Structure 1
């Protein structure tokens, strides 16, 4: 495969063209690397600069086909794009039938210039916080526009935003809609204009619903976890990361309940709890670490609350304040059957999270400074969103534990050009588990929005008014 057939519309050829996957096993794709050099702060072009990476992917038997581009905006924040090949995400096969796919490692993640305890070690906590303030959706969109102009010039592209990638999509619609030909969004219509506290109140209600489902399916799981939490008060148990496990950190395993397999995962985790009386098993400790450690995605924890902060907002550890408001403790709570069960938390990051996790502890002071930051840059433009004509098809999971459906409906209703497809079957990971089905429905919806938008654009003013 030569790079000549891989050139973009502007003539840019990717570096390091490679083949991943096997024809017999699936996932047989050709990839190429794209890098762009961007300002750390897009408002200060002569300041520090960072590298942003995107992997172009084409189906091997369509590598030379003249297909449009689809930019994938990953969930998170702080998550790298998926890796192609035999074990690549199922949705990618659907997309590669129709598009050249660009898997963007959002700034600070994957092969883009990383931001973690090692790369930030030379900076003071104040400098770390100031730097991390430039890793929100507004900067991600500005990076994407640099990449688009390099590859496509003035031609817009289509985007697929999963979870936080949907939040980035709404930022894109707010500040650079000229770059968008259309958008797919899965589980990611953001709560525009909603304070972080209200977001966490809503997601706590969703956690309660999933915990009730866990108890109905496996009544002993939280009872086992309550016994483990009591044990941790008296005995030192350590995760493979070196962190001493506490009851508060144990409660964070509830974050997996937002995925379709989360209930079963916690059931299996509880089955493996004890190696012998009075001693937790290595299997259990490794399983907990796999859920609660942020070694692979430190930005997720560091900027998690900041993704909800609009101009003038201070998050001030909103999740912790809502937790205190709801009276969520660290001891088992007796149920109607008299059995004590451990309360679980969801997709929330707390002060103890960053001080306990070895991947975050060196940046804990910076995290506290971010929580005290008064944000001076908007993430959305509600007036422009209301006038938006970019076609958007968005899948709203009615069972979503991470992105509240009611808040999403409100945002969609206040944004022009949006058609919502409500999915009552899948959870937040529906794209990964049933990508063909989800994207097939969204593709039909996107076509309908385009037809409606085109008809409105060509209709006489009197017809539109009527």
Structure 2
């Protein structure tokens, strides 16, 4: 069903950007039906009569199976803070999934056509109001949204698939609502359940350093190019096309691409075309600077910057009163890796997916959110994202692809977590980087599906 378009009342009007009726119209492409849904769901599931937000999801099913009694498969996107893919059902994991499932592509709260979080939509809130509001956009709330939709559809059980942060959401789902799940597919998204964010970053900085070394070994001239770009930024006031002062720290963040398959060569091509000569002087080209701005997804999807460290804020001791704040963990841990703090004449290193407090001082669209970000970083009482006791008695078949050289999700921690969860099976491979599902999704999905079939037989 398609929920009707309507105006929202009082505070909901301030929070919800009403979706255009045209976007709730279904369409067909190459034998596949795409059916949009919109739901009014409580911002705080503990206060069902309180403020509401809108959640958008797209149902995808093959026309020749449209009226069949297919099981549902819900997709949880990586991030946090990014919408579900606007995918072509003729390729990748979606093509494989549609052979047996009715797929629901969920725009997680705050993303896509769900009530969005941007510097614009938060502009009318005070810093404290932003802080109070943003606390409701972690995996626990995302999973409760999915449960709300499941009940709305009157579905007894459905399957889930999670990529990266979507896998974190999947383990939250397995922790608190296992009775609602048929099976779980996870790719590159098995988190550490027992350690502080500091421990996560101690491992990922080492992995990022390894990725840097591999990149510069493949492209030896890239080290010289990076030093030249960094020195230029240190000695000149360079602005991005949005007027923002472009710094060495910002340049380093494009290293997030080093953890993705097929990214090294395009990254090198970008570096070698950085300079253009103007009036006899080398200058960073407009094309390069535009590309650098495009790399800053934090500007358009601020949830990532605001809540990224909070995905590791899990009370991991038996004492539930233990403080869970991240306190800018990546920034603090970085001080133990001085090689990432570039100075002219030293070796250059890119950083990874880490988030830093300086981003809210330098990046134009994050500046208005600086106070809220600080409050979130210091929040001492995040609720639990996982139930270790429930996971230790897991009965839901779980198959995952874990990438041995994953730059974002440390392989050793994933392996430790999986050892705690019965009825789980891992395909441990160095064939792919973290974005394997996007590179070779059809093969990965089919491999995990075969593993799940075997698990189901063993459980029976």
Which TM-score applies when normalising by structure 1? 0.89
User: Does residue 106 of structure 2 align to residue 104 of structure 1?
Assistant: yes
C-alpha distance in 1 between matches for 2:289 and 2:100: 43
1:322 corresponds, among 333, 342, 347, to 333
Q: Which segments of 5 or more consecutive residues in structure 2 lack a partner in the other structure?
A: 3-22, 316-322
Which residue of 28, 51, 64 corresponds with 1:48?
51
Decide which of 292, 295, 298 is 1:294's aligned counterpart: 298
- The answer to whether residue 364 in structure 2 is matched with residue 358 in structure 1 is yes
Q: CA deviation at 1:230?
A: 1.1
Aligned length: 430
1:306 to 296, 307, 310: 310
Match of 1:62 among 51, 61, 65: 65
Look up the match of 2:407: 401
Aligned to 1:18: 27
Q: Is the 8 A contact 1:333 1:343 kept in 2?
A: no
2:425 to 404, 413, 419: 419
* Structure 2 CA distance for aligned equivalents of residues 333 and 178 of structure 1: 57
Three-state SS of the structure 2 residue aligned to 1:292 is coil
Instruction: Decide whether the 8 Å contact of 1:214 with 1:263 is kept in 2.
Output: yes
Correspondence for 1:132: 134
| C-alpha distance in 2 between matches for 1:270 and 1:58 | 42
SS at match of 1:81: coil
Corresponding residue number in structure 2 for 1:460 = none
Instruction: Report how far residue 80 of structure 1 moved.
Output: 0.3
CA distance in structure 2 between the partners assigned to 1:452 and 1:65 by the alignment: 27
C-alpha deviation, 1:278, in angstroms = 2.7
Give 1:57 shift: 0.7
1:142 correspondence with 2:144: yes
Whole-Å separation in 1 of the counterparts to 2:165 and 2:188: 8
Distance 1:150 1:318 in 2: 39
Q: Alpha carbon RMSD of aligned pairs, Å? A: 1.8
Structure 1 counterpart of 2:188: 187
Task: Please say if residues 187 and 437 of structure 2, whose CA atoms lie closer than 8 Å, have aligned partners that are also in contact.
Answer: yes
Task: Give SS of 1:220's match.
Answer: helix
1:441 aligns with 2:447: yes
Give 1:29 deviation, angstroms: 2.4
Alpha-carbon distance in 2 for matches of 1:352, 1:59 = 47
Write out per-residue CA displacement over residues 11-44 of structure 1, whole angstroms, 9 at most, x where no aligned residue: xxx9522123xx4xxxx52111112221111112
Does structure 1 conserve the Cα–Cα contact (< 8 Å) formed by 2:353 and 2:408? yes
Compared CA separation, residues 15 and 124, structure 1 to 2 (3 A): closer
Q: In 2, are the aligned partners of 1:82 and 1:89 still within 8 Å (CA)?
A: no
**Distance in structure 2 (CA, Å) of the matches to 1:77 and 1:133:** 13
**Aligned in 2, Cα 1:74/1:299: closer, same or farther, shift over 3 Å?**
same
In the alignment, which residue of structure 2 is the partner of 1:266?
A: 267
Deviations 1:307-363 (A, max 9, x none): 1001330100000001112224543576xxxxx532110010001112212221111
- Return the offset for 1:269: 1.1
- Deviation, 1:237, is 1.7
- SS in structure 1 at match of 2:295: helix
The alpha-carbon deviation at position 302 of structure 1 amounts to: 0.8
CA–CA distance in 1 between the matches of 2:449 and 2:61?
Answer: 19
TM-score in terms of structure 2 length? 0.90
Structure 1: runs of 5 or more not aligned: 4-13, 335-339, 455-466
The residue that corresponds to 1:432 in the other structure is 438
Deviation at 1:293, TM superposition (A): 3.7
Q: How does 1:72-83 map to 2 (within 5 A)?
A: 72-83=75-86
How far apart are 1:380 and its partner, in Å? 0.5
- Following TM superposition, where does structure 1 have runs of at least 4 consecutive aligned residues deviating by more than 6 angstroms? none
Partners of 2:240 and 2:290 within 8 A in 1: yes
Shift of 1:375: 2.4
Question: 2:72 touches 2:102 (CA, 8 Å); kept in 1?
Answer: yes
Question: Hey, what's the Cα distance between the residues in 1 that align with 2:261 and 2:299?
Answer: 24
1:280 aligns with 2:284: yes
CA contact (8 A) 1:243 1:356 kept: yes
**Contact (CA 8 Å) 1:256, 1:291: kept in 2 or not?**
no
- Could you tell me how far apart the structure 1 residues matched to 2:386 and 2:297 are? 31
Question: Does 2:168 correspond to 1:164?
Answer: no
Contact conserved, 1:332 with 1:343, CA < 8 A, in 2?
Answer: no
Residue 346 of structure 1 pairs with residue 352 of structure 2 = yes
